[in-house]
Structure 1
């Protein structure tokens, strides 16, 4: 039963991370179509970057402590990327450079979204598998 709760917690963490990345992508799209000014867009995105990083770290920790080795190994590249970006001080967007970085920032968030959708599908599969197994 503890395995099922670990899968449920991981599922909800993945939903939270997906929502945060989708919110960042929507802010960048609104900026691209000039629905929002650069200052508001960067402040909104920078406000949710840190919770996204923390949630990803907690997700990896949950998979590690629950013994879900495959999912832990699949989450490691995303965690490594977040740690690398944070250590290089490239995790926050700059208001003055946002239009130069717009295409790259959208592309990165789109890749994150696709990666997280794959992780979500695998998480749902393994959660159903653990329910059927018990």
Structure 2
């Protein structure tokens, strides 16, 4: 039964990262269509970047401690990418450069969103497989 809860925890953490990335994409799209000013967009996105990194780090630790080695190895490149962004100070969005980096930032977040979506599908499959295996 504990394996089911580890799958459920990973799914909930993935949903959290998915919603944070979705919020960032919505903020960038609102900036692109001129619904929000650049200062508010940069402030809103910069507030949720660090929680995204922390939640993904907790997710990797939960994969490691629960014994889901494949998912842990699959999520390591994303964790390394986040670490590299954070160490080079490339994770924040600056108000003065937001319009020149808008397409790059949207594409980066869409790639992250697709990556998290793949992990989420694997997690859903794991939950279903665990429930079918118990019957």
Taking structure 1 as the reference length, the TM-score comes to 0.98
In the TM superposition, 1:52-131 aligns within 5 A as 52-131=52-131
Q: What is the alpha-carbon distance in structure 1 between the residues aligned to residue 131 and residue 88 of structure 2?
A: 42
Q: What is the alpha-carbon distance in structure 2 between the residues aligned to residue 109 and residue 22 of structure 1?
A: 8
In structure 1, the residue matched to 2:11 is: 11
Between the two proteins, the alignment pairs up a number of residues equal to: 134
Q: Report the CA distance between 1:8 and its aligned residue.
A: 0.4
Q: Report the CA distance between 1:4 and its aligned residue.
A: 0.6
Greater CA drift, 42-51 or 123-132:
123-132
Local SS of the residue matching 1:110: helix
- Cα deviation code 1:61-80 (max 9, x no counterpart): 00000000111111111101
- Please list every run of 5 or more consecutive structure 2 residues that lacks an aligned counterpart in the other structure: none
- Cα deviation code 1:18-71 (max 9, x no counterpart): 000000000000001100000000000000001000000000000000000111
Q: What is the alpha-carbon distance in structure 1 between the residues aligned to residue 66 and residue 131 of structure 2?
A: 15
Q: Which runs of 4+ in 1 moved over 6 A?
A: none
Local SS of the residue matching 2:99: helix
Q: What is the alpha-carbon distance in structure 1 between the residues aligned to residue 129 and residue 51 of structure 2?
A: 30
- Please list every run of 5 or more consecutive structure 1 residues that lacks an aligned counterpart in the other structure: none
Taking structure 2 as the reference length, the TM-score comes to 0.97
- Cα deviation code 1:68-108 (max 9, x no counterpart): 01111111111010000000011100000000110100000
